Amino acid sequence: MFAKGIRIVEAHFPNLPLTEDKLTIWREMLADLTSEQFIQGIKSFCFAHKEIYPNTNVIAHIRHYALADPNRKTAAEAWGEVLSEVSRVGSYGAPQFTTSEIHRAIECVGWRDICLSEQIGVERAHFMRAYDGINERDIFNAVAGLGECVAKGGK
């Protein structure tokens, strides 16, 4: 599968010098990806980049595209889910969220603080910042190989 991915990269970026040393490093740094993840990462990288500059960290991009979940909710979508739960259960109820990232962001801000806020825009900003930070850290950890791949929505 590695050879297929390299052929895709060579077809998209014919001026990219792929030496044996570079390919050995790529193989080692991408070895933990499944075949499907690897090919998805390669294809997404090729679709997203028109050209590669000399200092582009291609390995990091491929890992990011291979491991990041394209269906992950945006902060605005997650906030919409939070507001639905505020309406459904209120400050004394037990909210149910579709992802662990939303739950973790709620823990940062505080469920009662959100429900009882007189300036909901402030809590919205705090939630969105926390949610984005959690997602960025999870994706970084997955891309850097620092534990389980929680970028796919793991709990």
The dihedral over CA atoms of 114, 150, 65, 102, expressed in degrees to the nearest 10, equals -10
In order along its 155 residues, the chain shows pLDDT tens digits of 889 999 999 999 999 999 999 999 999 999 999 999 999 999 999 999 999 988 899 999 999 999 888 889 999 999 999 999 999 999 999 999 999 999 999 999 999 999 999 999 999 999 999 999 999 998 888 888 764 444 444 43
Task: For residue 155, give the 3-state DSSP assignment.
Answer: coil
Q: Are 139 and 67 in contact (CB under 8 A)?
A: yes
pTM: 0.72
The dihedral over CA atoms of 73, 119, 87, 130, expressed in degrees to the nearest 10, equals 30
Q: What is the rounded end-to-end Cα distance, in angstroms, of the chain?
A: 30
